[in-house]
Amino acid sequence: MRVPGSFLYRLCQDDKRLPSVKDETGAYLIDRDADYFSPVLNYLRHGRLIINPGLADEGVLEEAEFYNLPQLVHLVNERIHERERSSSEAGRFKSVYRVIQCHEEELTTFISATSDGWKIVQVLPVQSRYQDYTVDRQQEYLCIVVRECPDNGSVSDSRDRATLLQQKARHN
């Protein structure tokens, strides 16, 4: 892929305005980080941004700017902005988990009544010393539920009905 005006294009055109040093074999000496040259070379070969694991996007951006590759600069900037956007969105919500214990007869009702954004993660039977369950001694379950809540730094969420009921019970 040829990019007229880029450092490497001008180097190959023997642009006299471009200061460059050659070794005794005629190879150009460019004092840049070889690890960060790999994404530049891959871009020139394939026209795609391929960044090896362990390389910082900002380092690739520096190389793209040095080699005067505007499209690569654009692609790396998009990648950086996407990463920043994703990390800022992830920080605005938190996962709140609850573990609720219920008897076997309540399990179906609990599962069908789960709402307000709560999602069932797992239902686990509670192991008991008693192996035979009678009508008086039903199997118990632990239901693990999760909900994404805005991370406003507050511990309680007044929109949560369970929290409201708990707060009312404490004040009575």
Mean pLDDT of 152-158: 55
Nearest to 43, CA basis, from 81, 85, 8, 83 = 8
Domains of the chain: 7-89 (3.30.710.10), 93-171 (3.30.70.2000)
Q: What percent of the chain has pLDDT over 70?
A: 78
Question: What pTM was computed for the model?
Answer: 0.51
Q: Please check the confidence at residue 63 and state whether its pLDDT lies above 60.
A: yes
Position 122 scores a pLDDT of 92
Which string of DSSP letters, residue by residue, matches 82-143?
HHHHHHHHHTTEEEEEEEEEEEHHHHHHHHHH--TT-EEEEEEEPP-S--S--SSS--EEEE
Alpha helices (H) along 3-33 = 7-12
Q: Which band of pLDDT confidence, cut at 50, 70 and 90, is reported for residue 155?
A: low
Distance between CA atoms of residues 9 and 23, nearest Å = 19
SS3 40: helix
Position 62 scores a pLDDT of 95
Q: Please check the confidence at residue 73 and state whether its pLDDT lies above 90.
A: yes
> How many helices and strands (H and E) does the chain possess?
6, 5
Position 59 scores a pLDDT of 94
pLDDT tens-place string over residues 77-127:
999 999 888 777 666 778 889 999 998 888 888 888 887 788 999 999 987
64 near 44, Cβ under 8 Å?
no
